[in-house]
Amino acid sequence: MSSGDKNVQRNPSDERQGQQERVDNGAPESPPSDHLARHRSSLQHADGQQIGHLATQRQQVVNEMADSYRHLLASLGENVEREALLKTPERAAKALLYFTKGYQEIVQEALNEAIFPSDHDEMVIVKDIDMFTLCEHHLLPFMGKVSVAYIPCGKVLGISKVARIVEIYSRRLQEQEKLTKQIAQALLEAVEPRGVAVTIEATHLCMVMRGIQKINAKTVTNCMLGVFREDPKARGEYLALIH
């Protein structure tokens, strides 16, 4: 370096401008600042607090429900202190929360990333979807098979999401007629097809274990919307394909 170079004064603003140009030209950016790192850490801490809060809330609900189950067992004349029943109230509470977890799920959120543009315009059927739910009249199970069909009009739904709709609504207290219509309406709103058809065939334990006690009886419900309601030919084709 010449003696003239040693006497050159560097302007700090020029230095910063040069650094900015290097960043703009694709050079690697500097590591995140301490402030950004602290911000990210605080967000992670907040997420952890939220998860912990939800876990605490859930445990409180379980405890309250378990107390109710203890009262029910005692009302039956059971000794709730005997060894086989000590953990039964808590197990029953957790089981009921699982059976009704659909109340915490939103159909639109479950489907958002599985709706696709399509020029397919023929019937799509997903049949024999297993279904388990609780009758809202006696809190006893009814279970069976669900078949769902729709005729697309510019959009299709990921196949597994059809079963997901069934799962969300069946994990609530239900009656079969209402469940059938809810599934059909959810699919209609999701992809706006030309028509939707839903059929449920189920066995109700409130009819098997009590009341009339007919173990082989099955209940069949249908919901036809759009072209399936208006066009007997489309409805007939659907019914022929699911049986």
Could you tell me the CATH number of the domain that includes residue 56?
Answer: 1.10.286.10
Both 123 and 47 in one domain: the answer is no
> How far is 181 from 199, CA to CA, in rounded Å?
9
Q: What percent of the chain has pLDDT above 70?
A: 79
> How far is 172 from 134, CA to CA, in rounded Å?
7
Strands in 69-194 per DSSP E: 115-117, 124-135, 141-151, 155-157, 173-174
Give the pLDDT score at 55. Answer: 84
Both 171 and 217 in one domain: the answer is yes
Both 79 and 171 in one domain: the answer is no
Instruction: Write out pLDDT tens, residues 200-212.
Output: 999 999 999 999 9
Q: Is residue 211 part of a domain?
A: yes
Both 127 and 196 in one domain: the answer is yes
Q: Is residue 1 part of a domain?
A: no
Q: Is residue 6 part of a domain?
A: no
Could you tell me the CATH number of the domain that includes residue 221?
Answer: 3.30.1130.10
Both 207 and 93 in one domain: the answer is no
Q: Is residue 28 part of a domain?
A: no
Confidence band for 56, pLDDT divided at 50, 70 and 90 = confident
pTM of the model: 0.78
* Residue 217, domain extent: 107-242
Confidence band for 41, pLDDT divided at 50, 70 and 90 = low
> How far is 29 from 14, CA to CA, in rounded Å?
18
